[in-house]
Structure 1
Amino acid sequence: MPDFDQEPVVDWIEFIAALAAFFIAHWAPLRPGLRAPLKRVLGQTGFTWIYSVLSLGLLAWLIMATNRAPRLMIWPWAPWQNLLVLGAMAAAVLILALTLGRPNPFSFGGGGPAAFDPTRPGLTRWIRHPILTALALWALAHLVANGDLAHVVLFGLLGAMALIGQTMIDRREGARRLNLWRDMRRATRDAPFLNLFRPLDLWRGLAGLVCYATLILLHPRLIGVDPLAGLSG
C-alpha cells in the first residue's frame, strides 16, 4: 500500500486542481440553467468549439499534472500490461477510424436521424457510442498499466465517465424521442451483414492502422514511455 505520510500534501495541489477543473468543466455545462444561456450568447457552433478546446486543454493539463504528481505505487508494472494496452488501443483507434465523421443519431458527434442510413450502420450496429467506447478502452487499459495512485485516479475516473456517459445518453435520447430511437435501433440490428460497411471503410481501416503505428512510434517522445518496452524479452 502507498505510504501517504512520506508525501507532502503540497505536492498533490496541481493534480487536485487540474482534476477538479476538468470535472467541473464537464459537469457545469450539463446544468440547463448554465447551458442554455451559454448557447444563446455563443451560438451552437461557438459553444461546441469553445467547449471542445477547453476540454482538450484541461485534459492535457490533467495528464501533465498526473505525470508530475508523486508516484505512490499501488501495484507493480509487468510486461503483459503493455500487451493489454497495445491490444486495447488497436481496437480504440480502429473504432474511431471507422466511425468519426459518420452520421450517428445515438450518440454525440454524429448527425441526426435524417443523415443516418440504418441499412448501412457500420460499427454502430454494435457500438452506439464509439467515441465513448474508445475513451473507455484507452482509460481502462492504461489504468491497468499504470499502478501509481495519481494515474489510477485519473484513468479510473475517465473510464467511469466514459461508461456512465453512455448510459446517460441512452436515457436522454430514449426519453426525448422514444419511438424514433427504438425504430432506428431495430432497423440497425436487422441490417444484412454484407451491407453493414461501405467500400470507403476499407480505407478508413487502413488509415486507422497507420495512425496506430504512428502513435506507437511517437509515444516515447510525447509521453516518455515506450509501449513496446519489455516485450522483446
Structure 2
Amino acid sequence: MGYTLLILGLLAWSGSHLWKRVAPASRAKAGDAGRGMVALVSLIGIVLMVLGYRWAPYDQVWPESRSLVHLNNLLMLLSFYLFAASGMKTNATKIVRHPQLWGVRLWAIAHLMVNGDLASLILFGGLFVWAQVEVSFINRQEPVWVKSTAPTNKGKEIGAIVGAVLLTGVVGYIHILLGYQPWG
C-alpha cells in the first residue's frame, strides 16, 4: 500500500506541475481556477507521498552510509538557499538558471546519498526526474536565458543566507521529532 500511495503522490505532484508545460492551452483556459487546481492536486500529491513513504516497507537497495550525512546537510543548506534566492532574486539567480529546480535536484541527491531503501529511491529519485523533465520543458519553450543585470540588494542576499540556515535547523529538528537523525 505504501509504494502505491507514494507513486500516486509522485504522479499527482508531477502531473499538476507539468500541466502548464505539457498542455499550455488547457492550462491557460483554466485561468485563475487552474492555479487552485494545481495547488490542490499538489497538496494531495504531498500527502500521498508522505503517507506512502511512511507506510512503505524497508526494502534495502544499497547500503546506507552515515559518513555522507555532513555532505547531505551541506547540500540541504545549498538547496534551501537556492529556493530563497529564487524568490528574493539574489546573485544566485544571475548564475544559476532555475534555482528552485536546482534546489529540488540537490535535495533529492542529498537524500539518496544517505537513504538506500526502495521508498527513498522512488520518492527522491522520482522528484529528481520530475525536476529534470521540468527543466527540459522550460528550456525547450524558453531556449534563451536572459540573465538579470539589475543590482542585487545586499539585504536580500543576507536574508536568503540567514533564512537557509534557519530553515535547515528547523527541518533538521522536525526530522528528529519524526525519528530521523539528520546530524550524524
Whether TM-score is above 0.5 comes out as yes
**2:128 corresponding residue in structure 1:** 159
Deviates more, 1:198-207 or 1:86-95: 198-207
Matching residue within 92, 99, 119 for 1:123: 92
- Give a deviation string over 1:114-146, Cα, whole Å, max 9, x none: xxxxxxx62112111011011111111112211
User: What is the one-letter code of the residue matched to 1:210?
Assistant: L
- Contact 2:88–2:160 (CA under 8 A) maintained in structure 1: no
Question: In structure 2, how many angstroms separate the alpha carbons of the residues matched to 1:84 and 1:220?
Answer: 18
Root mean square deviation of aligned Cα: 2.5
Q: Which runs of 5+ in 1 are unaligned?
A: 1-9, 103-120, 175-180
AA paired with 1:224?
G
Choose 65-74 or 75-84, whichever is displaced more: 75-84
Q: Which residue of 118, 126, 139 corresponds with 2:108? A: 139
Distance in structure 2 (CA, Å) of the matches to 1:149 and 1:76:
11
Q: d(CA) in 2 for partners of 1:13 and 1:128?
A: 33
CA–CA distance in structure 2, aligned partners of residues 11 and 94 of structure 1: 31
TM-score with structure 2 length normalisation? 0.83
Deviations 1:152-186, CA, capped at 9 Å, x for gaps:
02211211221232222122013xxxxxx46x34x
Q: Which has the larger radius of gyration?
A: 1
Is residue 2:41 matched to residue 1:86? no
The within-5 A match list for 1:11-50 is 12-29=3-20, 30-32=22-24, 34-37=26-29, 39=30, 43-44=31-32, 46-50=33-37
1:212 counterpart = 2:168:
yes
Tell me the residue number matched to 1:60.
47
Please, which runs of 5 or more residues in structure 2 have no aligned partner?
Answer: none
**Which structure: greater helix fraction?**
2
Shift of residue 91 of structure 1?
0.4
- SS of corresponding position for 1:128: coil
Gap change, CA 1:196 and 1:55, over 3 Å in 2: same
Tell me the CA shift for residue 55 of structure 1.
0.9
Amino acid at match of 2:172: I
In the superposition, relative to structure 1, how do residues 23 and 204 fare at CA in structure 2: closer, same or farther (>3 Å)? closer
Q: Aligned residues: percent identity?
A: 24
Supply the AA of the counterpart residue of 2:163: A
Residue identity opposite 1:206 in structure 2: V
Q: Return closer, same or farther for 1:150/1:204 CA change in 2, 3 Å cut-off.
A: closer
- Cα deviation for residue 59 of structure 1 reads 2.0
The one-letter code of the counterpart of 1:122 is N
